[in-house]
Amino acid sequence: MNGFCREPTEARLLDIARFEYQKETRTCIASSRLGVHTERFQRVGRSTWVATDTPKGPCGVVNVGRFEKESEVKFKHWRYYDKNVVTNPAGKVLGFSCSELDQNEYLYDWRSKEWPLGCDYLEFGLH
């Protein structure tokens, strides 16, 4: 950027654009999908608690998260599974189709894990 400010040429502008594109494609984003939120759970057996959620927003998103007790361990360890289900895939939010929202299930486990990310940069924030 400093070089471009000193001598604004097309070549330097292209260098900046290339760098920004390469950085963007090599950046992993660490974020919370929904930010901070509160959930209520109901016990459905000795070892499972499920979220009691109602559809929210124009997409009708319902959280179907659950806690499951780790049965193979003597101590009280729990795994948390989180998933959002879109009940109105034809809806739109912020110009995006509700059918494009993330509906994958995610496991949050008490065991440590290593995740190969394949990125050179890490960006934190809500996205």
Q: What are the tens digits of pLDDT across the range 69-108?
A: 887 666 678 889 999 999 999 999 888 899 999 999 988 8
Decide if 5 is inside a domain.
Answer: no
Band of the pLDDT at 117, cuts 50, 70, 90?
confident
* Domain that residue 59 falls in: 41-116
Q: How far is CA 110 from CA 56, 78, 102, 106, in A?
A: 29, 7, 23, 13
**CA separation for the pair 41, 92 (Å, rounded):** 28
Decide if 78 is inside a domain.
Answer: yes
Per the CB < 8 A criterion, the answer to whether 28 and 43 are in contact is no
Among residues 86, 84, 95, the alpha carbon closest in space to that of 60 is found at 86
Residue 29 scores a pLDDT above 80: no
Q: What is the pTM of this model?
A: 0.57
Decide if 7 is inside a domain.
Answer: no
Per the CB < 8 A criterion, the answer to whether 48 and 71 are in contact is no
Q: How many domains does the chain have?
A: 1
pLDDT of residue 75: 66
